[in-house]
């Protein structure tokens, strides 16, 4: 039986476009229909006219033979990337209705490029939900309503509507898992691509810090934020990452001056002799039995293909949580100071003077988690506490990065769980934000070190919920990670599994 369009990978859809089985407009219409019928609450904005105009332009390029391998393929953007054709809210009341006068570099690269030149030619279906200003691990911190909803509500996991999809890129992960889009962009500050990818059973990649430009990506923590792709397969993520990455030195001072790379080139490499480091800190008492069983089975599959498991240690793993939740809020308190009601975004209606306008605007515009992190950040940067907290955290951050380099002397890739458990129930941690923070323990170390990491679906745990395996590589080793994931997916079928409620 022929696969439905929404059950095909980007690679398969690309073939269908080039063999004229379907046009870019027909493909866009198919996914727009599904997106508008979304029951997960993933999409925050859809503009059918804008999407079909992009698809028509793609069909013209395909007819002229000028389109690349991603030309005409649909995707959704996390709502922290600014876009001209769609509103950009960062999931916050503070920016509800805001429209940017320019596209983010990642949007340009995946779309029509600068002045219509140099982009991959993908078609934007719309913008998808995220925790407000990318702050959260559950996608419950949303301040704007999804398409078809009257009030803000959390995104629901397609595998179980009573559970979270993960965060902050939960809308991206849920949309891909529910077959509303074949691909989406995400951002990862402390695990916000890898964790929702794991919870929703898809593949997600956080590249080396600086690989993808941050220009036009609404900042949360500037020394940590990184854009990356989310799709069903490692093969698809390799195509997306090749288009997304590249230097942007004129517009992003944190952009790496390294040439664009074809991440698909090494997808056929053998795993024979590959050394996979297994950090014992990732497999302690806090790891749920169901998650560990799925990871162990996945590691065995890699062993069968010729890889060798090597025990390693990352001794400062537990320190990653306090370090991250000092550094990230500190940077957030600075980055979010621009949202004051003066130039753009929400402004309070009732105030008496400039200071009360600032206070009322920020009190009304920001949600509870954002306020919590701004206040934490302001505190650790304040006089008398900077040395005791922020400076010490930066020193330990350097030590965490050094731990990884010592580990990579003994291995090529590091593997372990993405999160200690499968996705939890909506509202479970509502009264205890620290519980959400603790769930990031396995993703934070690589983020603090600026290393590339990814999540690969490797099975199912409690309640039939997906489990992801995390792969971490040394700097600029995304191609190696993608090949390990691809070789695993050639021997398994977890990446093709579909939630039972998804047609």
- Of 23, 78, 137, 169, the catalytic one is 78
The DSSP 8-state label assigned to residue 167 in this structure reads S
CA distance 266 to 244: 18
DSSP codes of every residue in 188-211: ESSSTTHHHHHHHT-EEEEPPTTS
* Structure token digits, residue 230: 């989310």
58 is catalytic: no
192 is catalytic: yes
Contacts of 89 (CB under 8 A, 6+ apart): 44, 45, 79, 95, 96, 97, 98, 127, 143, 144
- Of 168, 169, 172, 264, the catalytic one is 168
Neighbour-count burial of 384, counting CB atoms closer than 10 A to its CB (0-12 exposed, 13-18 middle, 19+ buried): exposed
The DSSP 8-state label assigned to residue 386 in this structure reads I
Q: 77 - beta bridge partners? A: 127
CA distance 224 to 397: 11
Question: From the CB of residue 293, how many other CB atoms can be counted at a distance below 10 Å?
Answer: 14
- Of 14, 169, 192, 455, the catalytic one is 192
Contacts of 3 (CB under 8 A, 6+ apart): 12
Quote the crossing angle between the two packed helices 368-380 and 320-335, to the nearest 10°. 100
Q: 């500050």: which residue's tokens? A: 189
Catalytic residues: 78, 168, 192
């Amino acid at each position: 039986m022929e696969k439905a369009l929404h059950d095909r990978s980007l690679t398969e859809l690309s073939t269908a476009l080039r063999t004229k089985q379907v046009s870019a407009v027909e493909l866009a219409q198919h996914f727009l229909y599904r997106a508008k019928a979304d029951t997960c609450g993933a999409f925050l904005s859809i503009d059918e006219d804008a999407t079909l105009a992009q698809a028509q332009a793609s069909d013209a390029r395909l007819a002229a033979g000028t389109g690349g391998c991603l030309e005409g393929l649909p995707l959704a953007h996390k709502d922290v990337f600014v876009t001209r054709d769609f509103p950009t809210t960062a999931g916050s009341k503070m920016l509800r209705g805001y429209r940017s006068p320019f596209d983010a570099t990642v949007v340009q690269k995946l779309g029509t490029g600068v002045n219509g030149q140099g982009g991959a030619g993908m078609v934007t279906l719309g913008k998808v939900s995220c925790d407000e200003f990318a702050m959260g691990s559950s996608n419950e911190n949303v301040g704007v309503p999804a398409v078809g909803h009257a009030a803000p509500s959390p995104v629901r996991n397609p595998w179980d509507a009573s559970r979270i999809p993960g965060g902050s890129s939960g809308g991206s992960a849920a949309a891909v898992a529910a077959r509303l889009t074949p691909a989406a962009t995400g951002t990862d500050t402390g695990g916000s691509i890898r964790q929702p990818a794991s919870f929703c059973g898809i593949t997600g990649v956080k590249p080396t810090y600086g690989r993808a430009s941050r220009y036009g990506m609404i900042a949360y923590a500037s020394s940590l934020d990184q854009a990356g792709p989310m799709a069903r397969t490692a093969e698809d993520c390799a195509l997306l990452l090749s288009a997304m990455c590249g230097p942007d030195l004129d517009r992003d001072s944190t952009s790496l001056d390294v040439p664009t790379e074809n991440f698909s080139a090494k997808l056929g490499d053998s795993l024979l002799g590959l050394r996979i480091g297994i950090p014992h800190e990732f497999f302690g008492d806090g790891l749920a039995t169901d998650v560990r069983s799925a990871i162990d089975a996945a590691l065995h599959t890699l062993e069968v293909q010729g890889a060798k498991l090597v025990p390693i240690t990352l001794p400062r793993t537990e320190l990653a949580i306090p370090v991250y939740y000092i550094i990230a809020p500190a940077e957030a308190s600075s980055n979010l100071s621009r949202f004051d009601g003066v130039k753009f975004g929400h402004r309070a209606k009732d105030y008496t003077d400039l200071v009360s306008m600032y206070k009322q605007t920020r009190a009304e515009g920001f949600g509870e988690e954002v306020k919590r992190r701004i206040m934490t950040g302001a505190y650790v940067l304040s006089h008398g506490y900077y040395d005791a907290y922020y400076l010490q955290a930066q020193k330990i951050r350097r030590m965490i990065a050094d731990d990884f380099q010592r580990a990579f002397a003994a291995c090529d890739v590091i593997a372990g769980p993405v999160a200690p458990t499968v996705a939890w129930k909506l509202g479970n941690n509502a009264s205890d934000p620290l519980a959400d923070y603790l769930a990031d323990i396995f993703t934070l170390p690589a983020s603090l070190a600026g290393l590339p990491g990814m999540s690969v679906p490797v099975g199912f745990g409690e309640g039939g919920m997906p489990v992801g395996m995390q792969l971490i590589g040394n700097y600029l080793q995304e191609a190696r990670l993608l090949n390990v994931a691809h070789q695993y997916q050639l021997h398994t079928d977890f990446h093709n599994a579909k939630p039972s409620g998804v047609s």
